[in-house]
Structure 1
Amino acid sequence: MNADLKQLTAELRQEHKDILAYWQRYAPDPTNGGFYGRVNYQNQPDPKADKGIVLNARILWTFSAALRHTQHDDYRAVADQAFQYIQKYFIDPQFGGVYWSVDNKGQPKYPLKHLYGQAFALYGLSEYAHATGSAPALSLAKDQFQQMIKHAYDSKKGGFVEALSRDWSPATDYIISKYDNQESKTMNTHLHILEAFTCLYRVWPDKSVADQMRGMLRMFLDHIIDPKTYRMNLFMDNDWKIRRTAISYGHDIEASWLLPEAADVLAAKNPADKPMQKKVRDVAIKMARAATTGFDPSDGGMNYELEPDGHLNKERSWWVLAEAMVGFMNAYQLTHEKQFLDKSVSSWEFIKKYLLDLKNGEWYSGVSSDHKILGNDKISMWKCPYHNSRSCLEMLERIEHLR
Structure 2
Amino acid sequence: MSAVLKMEECREHVRTQLDTVVDFWLKYSHDTVHGGFFTCIGRDGTVYDELKYVWLQGRQVWMYCRLYRTMDRFHKPEILEAAKAGGEFLRKFARVSTSSGQWKCAFCLTRDGKAVKIQRTIFSECFYIMAMDELSRTTGDKDMQLEAEQMMEQLIYWVRVDSSGLGRPQLPGDVATNSMAIPMMLLCLVQQLTEGRGQEVVQKYRELGRWCVQQILQHMQRDGTAILENVSLDGQELPGCQGRLQNPGHALEAGWFLIQYSAEWGDDDLQRTAIDKFVELPYQNGWDKEHGGLFYFLDVDGHCPTQLEWSMKLWWPHCEALIAFLMAYSQTKKPELLDRFSQVYEYTFSHFPDAKSGEWFGYLTQEGKVALDFKGGPFKGFFHVPRCLYMCERILDDLLANKD
Provide the TM-score with structure 1 as the length reference.
0.85
Match of 2:8 in 1: 6
AA aligned opposite 1:357 = D
Q: What root-mean-square deviation, in Å, do the aligned CA atoms of Structure 1 and Structure 2 show?
A: 2.5
Task: Give the SS at the match of 2:96.
Answer: coil
Post-superposition offset of 1:196: 1.5
Unaligned runs of 5+ in 1: 268-273
State the alpha-carbon separation in 1 of the partners of residues 288 and 227 from structure 2: 20
1:21-40 matches, within 5 Å, as 21-40=23-42
Contact 1:65 1:127 in 2 (8 A): yes
Q: Spell out the pairing of 1:146-161 with structure 2 (5 A cutoff).
A: 146-150=153-157, 152-155=158-161, 161=163
Shift of 1:235: 2.5
Matched, 1:189 2:182: yes
Q: Which residue is equivalent to 2:283? A: 292
* C-alpha spacing 1:203/1:147, structure 2 compared with 1 (3 Å): farther
Q: How many residues align?
A: 378
Residues 346 and 65 (structure 1), Cα distance of their counterparts in 2 relative to 1, 3 Å cut: same
Task: Indicate the residue corresponding to 1:201 in structure 2.
Answer: 194
Q: What residue number does 2:322 align with?
A: 325
Residue 36 of structure 1: how far off its partner (Å) = 1.7
> Corresponding residue for 1:139?
146
User: Are residue 248 (structure 1) and residue 247 (structure 2) matched?
Assistant: yes
SS in 2 for 1:385: coil
**What does residue 270 of structure 1 align with?**
none
Query: Which residue type is aligned with residue 287 of structure 2?
Result: F
Question: Secondary structure at the residue paired with 1:46?
Answer: strand
Q: Which residue, out of 378, 383, 395, partners 2:380?
A: 383
How far is 1:242 from its partner? 4.1
Displaced runs of 4 or more, over 6 A: none
Q: Kindly tell me: are residues 62 and 231 of structure 1, through their superposed partners in 2, closer, same or farther at Cα, counting changes over 3 Å? A: farther
Match of 1:87 among 85, 91, 105: 91
Aligned 1:316-355 pairs, distance under 5 A: 316-355=313-352
Q: Which runs of 5+ in 2 are unaligned?
A: none
Contact 2:296 2:311 in 1 (8 A): yes
What does residue 224 of structure 2 align with? 229
Q: Specify whether residues 105 and 5 from structure 1 end up closer, same or farther in structure 2 by C-alpha distance, changes over 3 A only.
A: same
The offset of 1:97, in angstroms, is 4.1
Equivalent AA in structure 2 for residue 58 of structure 1? R
Cα pair 1:54 1:381 within 8 Å, conserved: no
Question: Equivalences for 1:122-133 in 2 at 5 Å?
Answer: 122-133=129-140
C-alpha distance after superposition, 1:48-102 (max 9, x if no partner) = x432221111101111111122131242122112211111110236632422222
Q: CA offset at residue 310 of structure 1?
A: 2.8
Alpha-carbon shift at residue 17 of structure 1 (Å): 1.2
Report the alpha carbon displacement of residue 260 of structure 1 after superposing the two structures with TM.
Answer: 2.1
Cα distance, 1:250 vs structure 2: 0.9
Return the TM-score normalized by structure 2: 0.85
